[in-house]
Structure 1
Amino acid sequence: MRNPYIVGGWVKGASHYGRRGLISHLLDGPNNALWAVGTRRMGKTSLLRQIEALTLTHSQYVPLFVDLQGISTRAELNRELYYALEEAADRFEPHGVDVAALRAADEITLLRAMRRQLLAANRVLLLLIDEAEALVTIGKMDPALLQQLRKNFLIGAGLRVIMVSTKILLQLNDQDAAWDTSPFLNGFAPRNLTGLDPVAAEMLIRQSQSPTPVTVSDQTIDAIRAEAGDHPYLVQMICQRLWQEDNSLRELTPADLIVDDMLAGFFQHDFRYLSAGERRILLAVSQAGLLSETAVREATGLSEPESAGFVFGLVKLGYLRVIHNQLAVGNQLLDAWLKQNRARLEQQISSAISDGSSQQILQAGRREEMQLLQDQLTLLRSNLAELELQRVQFGIQVPLSLINSINLTRRDIGRLEDQLAHLADGLASPHTSYMPAR
């Protein structure tokens, strides 16, 4: 039997776990321009590929996935955009898009033509942009092009843009400061790509969506989640190491938690994408093991608003987590790497991402998070009402499956209500804590 855990590649369909609430918000929310930001290996490409797969038969959207990895010039952007359209021609041509006729079009003309032709067919172009960090290099070489792209991305009717990247894209805020118009990212609703929720993390470990789920003890599941911090890549990496030929997971040992060179490289990139203030907080928490938010301010010298904003972002992106109302490093593997490299990292406090840009996007991210939670609550409460109605119709002989569905929905509602209450209190309040899935 093949090892079912996929490490290093993107996934979709039954291999994709969690993110249902986020995907619903990205597709059905009020914003037509969205930016999902996450650390390396947090599942950014998988998110877009899953959205693409889900919308192939959508009554409104026609998806176009564009990968900007390695793109640095306008000509390369133009070629990649057309190649993406050419590969997906079978989904566009039935709606009146003449793909061959757009071969010689520049990127702006191509986007406008696709949008206009789809609008005539009562469809919306769903532009899915992976590796959006390339826009930083493109913008340095051709700021006028970046302004034109922004204008077209934010046009509204007939086009929804979802782009994913690491925080390095925040460099655009400083890079575009000289523009007479608004900076590129203004108008994009930011969404943080967090770790998996507890239920999705357990499902991933068990491979619950597979025809052959993995056999694993509850204790091993809790140990994996605690070590990985529900980070999807780290969960799969650990599970891949623990998997046995009888399709079970053995118990976790210290040897399974080695930070190899590849993982160290990922952590180095993630550290590089933090602002100076965020780096100081992460190193302080790692050194102490557990810190209250008051202690974080004392250790770093940051003001309360600065510390509150950075803590919110670090928790959201998985750099930190909350344990017994105190802050800890987001997962044990990252913490081990920070401790091993502390002396060197303390010399790397200066960052290409300014504290101001990071704080600005965190404020917008908090507002978006509150809206997402409210949307999810509305849906769950509606589902609960329907389940309760079904229970009444069964009288005293209610199926156990229905009772379980009601209890699970109530638990999810309670969890989201708690998160929303914390967010309403301010950025300093943690949005989530580590909790067992059961």
Structure 2
Amino acid sequence: MNRSPYIVSNWVKDSHFYGRTELCHMLMTGYERCVYLVGTRRVGKTSVLMRLADQLSPHAIYCDLMRTAGSEYLDEARLVALMRRQLNKQAPESAALQESRAIWDQQSDSLCAWLDEVSWRWEELSLTVTLLWDEAELLRRLPDKTLMPLRAILQHSDSLRIIISGSKGVADLNDRWRSEYVSPFLFGFRTYAVAGLEDGEAEELIRQRGQVQVTDTLVETIATITGNHPFLIQTLCSKLFSWGQLHEPTDQDLIVDSSMADLFRIDCSYLSPSEQHILSVIAQHGILSANDLQQHIQLPDKTIHSFIAGMRQLGLLYPADGDRWRIGNDFLAQWLRGQTLEDLSTITDRASLEVVDKELQDLAISRVAQRRRIRDLQEQNDLDADNLADNSELAHLQSNIATIDQELAHRSSVVAATNTLSPLSDREIAVVRLVAAGLSNPEIGRELAISVDTVKAHLKNISGKLGTNNRAQTVARAKEQQLI
């Protein structure tokens, strides 16, 4: 056998799918209505969604949101058409889907209007359909008028579950709304991280279930070099494969090629400023403890540990020994040593911490569940505002929600407070000074010789670090902290 059995160009299924058994089981049987599957590029998120589509068939709809990308906005009519096409394929296997065809097989330019109508009919039929949306970064292209009702439909429907899959960049949705009236989009979603395979799973992939001859020592070497990242394993093993066995890697085999570099560049652009800084510092020094990091990064110990935990979940960092950390795989470490990561990313520190904060997720999910229960009781008993207080369960639920809201506000403020300790860069301070002087974004861009998009990105990072919602608050907070 001289044809390589390793797959490096596509998602995998059937006998080529390795590991993820526990994750797939949790996603299939979990009680969460809304799930955010987060991971780096090519780590296997699409393969997980495709496996779920098979296991939940015919009541699961897989959609690649990249196929709905318009010039500026996500094409809602195209997304509806893709879901209708998938339902048409699966309807012959489901009496409930066939019965409801007249509802779901209609064209619509409005995603929310279509989902609202089909969800009510499926609820009447006691049917639950799971939406599997890949490349969820594209949701950021939906206008607010769609995103807000979309979240309400997904959280309160009894007939819909959704699993969105994407990079850490999806967390940018949380920065779209920061007010006392509307909670961030991902509040109510449970986050599951997809990272490297377990050691035994990685060994199976390397050995191709016994098809490839490889020594135990080389298995361990490959696992260490790749951090058990399945794409990196497949890529490296494809280079090492010859006539049914793997040879020892040479220096040439370990060079970061252009495709790897592109993946790493995208992954790092989806990290927050502090995460980028932590990766850069560890890459420069090889191995560092959290205490060592504090000498380079002006953040409290607890916050540094939170960022480390989040990047550990994604496989970007790996424990070396004790409380010391190294870069998650040798290819990424090699690439980072040749880069200068700009303090300019698509998400803020605050949004990044929110999506890995389990306590925050628990509170938000509990709130959604209790609001759903209130709605059910009101519909069952046709209760109105006048006799709401006479119903003890409803009164108890409302009291619980008020308590949860207080806890959410406190927990969110704790997360937000971490950013006030993260100093602004010289460029960010220059931007704030120009904002304080009354300059518009185009004027700031001309003054600093940067694009308007770069100005906007700087302002978003500044707002995240200072915990502000608008330009006036940003200027006031910067003055309070004597930054300008």
Whether TM exceeds 0.5 here: the answer is: yes
What is the CA distance between 1:366 and its match in structure 2?
9.2
Q: 1:222 offset after TM fit, Å?
A: 0.6
Distance 1:75 1:226, change over 3 A: closer
Q: Deviations over 1:404-437 (max 9, x none)?
A: xxxxxxxxxxxxxxxxxxxxxxx9xxxxxxxxxx
What does residue 345 of structure 2 align with? 351
The farther-off stretch of 12-21 and 119-128 is 119-128
Instruction: State the AA in 2 paired with 1:349.
Output: D
The answer (yes or no) to whether the contact 2:214–2:245 under 8 Å persists in 1 is yes
Contact 1:310 1:359 in 2 (8 A): yes
Residue 143 of structure 1 aligns with which residue?
144
Deviations 1:274-293 (A, max 9, x none): 11111111111111111111
2:356 matches 1:362? yes
Equivalent residue number for residue 104 of structure 1? 107
Which residue of the other structure, out of 255, 259, 262, is the alignment partner of 1:258? 255
The CA deviation at 1:300 is 1.4
| Aligned position for 1:229 | 227
Instruction: Give matches, 1:193-204, under 5 Å.
Output: 193-204=194-205
| Number of residues of Structure 1 aligned to a counterpart in Structure 2 | 355
Structure 2 matches for 1:46-85, cutoff 5 A? Answer: 46-56=47-57, 62-69=59-66, 71-72=69-70, 76-85=75-84
Q: List per-residue Cα deviations over 1:368-406 (Å, max 9, x = no partner).
A: 8xxxxxxxxxxxxxxxxxxxxxxxxxxxxxxxxxxxxxx
| Residue 127 of structure 2 is aligned to residue 126 of structure 1 | no
The residue aligned with 1:303 is 300
Question: Aligned with 1:79: secondary structure?
Answer: helix
Give the drift of 1:75.
7.0
Change (3 A) 1:119 1:101: closer
* Cα displacement string for residues 54-104 of structure 1 (whole angstroms, at most 9, x for unaligned residues): 2226xxxx0000111152466722222322321341323532231686332
The 1:179–1:248 alpha-carbon spacing in structure 2 relative to 1, beyond 3 Å, is farther
- For CA contacts below 8 A with separation 6 or more, give which structure has more relative contact order: 1
The equivalences for 1:152-231 within 5 A come to 152-178=153-179, 180-208=181-209, 213-231=211-229
AA aligned to 2:82 is Y
Q: Which residue of 2 aligns with 1:243?
A: 241
Report if aligned partners of 1:127, 1:161 keep a CA contact under 8 Å in 2. yes
- Check if 1:37 corresponds to 2:38: yes
Distance in 2, matches of 1:328 and 1:65, equals 36
Contact 1:6 1:236 (C-alpha < 8 Å) held by counterparts: yes
Q: Residue by residue, what CA displacement relative to the aligned partner does 1:3-48 show, whole Å, maximum 9, x if unpaired?
A: 2111131112221111111111112122110001111111111110
Q: Distance in 2 between matches of 1:6 and 1:281?
A: 32
Structure 1: how far apart are the matches of 2:284 and 2:139? Answer: 36
Question: How many angstroms apart in 2 are the aligned matches of 1:197 and 1:25?
Answer: 16
TM-score (norm 2): 0.69
Contact 1:102 1:110 in 2 (8 A): no
After TM superposition, the structure 1 stretch with the greater mean CA deviation from structure 2, 327-336 or 6-15, is 6-15
Aligned to 1:327: 325
- Residues 37 and 68 from structure 1, CA distance in 2 versus in 1: closer, same or farther, beyond 3 angstroms? same
Check the 8 A contact 1:33/1:161 in 2, yes or no. yes
Superposition TM-score, scaled by structure 1 size: 0.76
From the CA coordinates, give the structure whose radius of gyration is larger. 2
Aligned to 1:4: 5
Displacement after TM superposition at 1:323 (Å): 1.4
Superposition CA RMSD, Å: 2.3
Q: Which blocks of at least 5 consecutive residues in structure 1 are unaligned? A: 369-426, 428-438
Partner AA of 1:130 in structure 2: D
Unmatched runs of 5 consecutive residues or more in structure 2 = 363-414, 416-484
C-alpha distance in 1, partners of 2:233/2:84? 34
Output the amino acid matched with 2:78: R
Taking only the aligned residue pairs, the percentage that are identical comes to: 31
Pairing 1:281-292 to 2, within 5 Å after superposition: 281-292=278-289
Give distance in 1, aligned partners of 2:12 and 2:161: 22
Letter of the structure 1 residue corresponding to residue 55 of structure 2: L
**Equivalent position amino acid for 1:337 in 2:** W
1:196–1:232 CA contact under 8 A, matched in 2 = yes
Could you tell me which amino acid in structure 2 is paired with residue 324 of structure 1?
D
Contact 2:39–2:45 (CA under 8 A) maintained in structure 1? yes
Change (3 A) 1:12 1:177: same
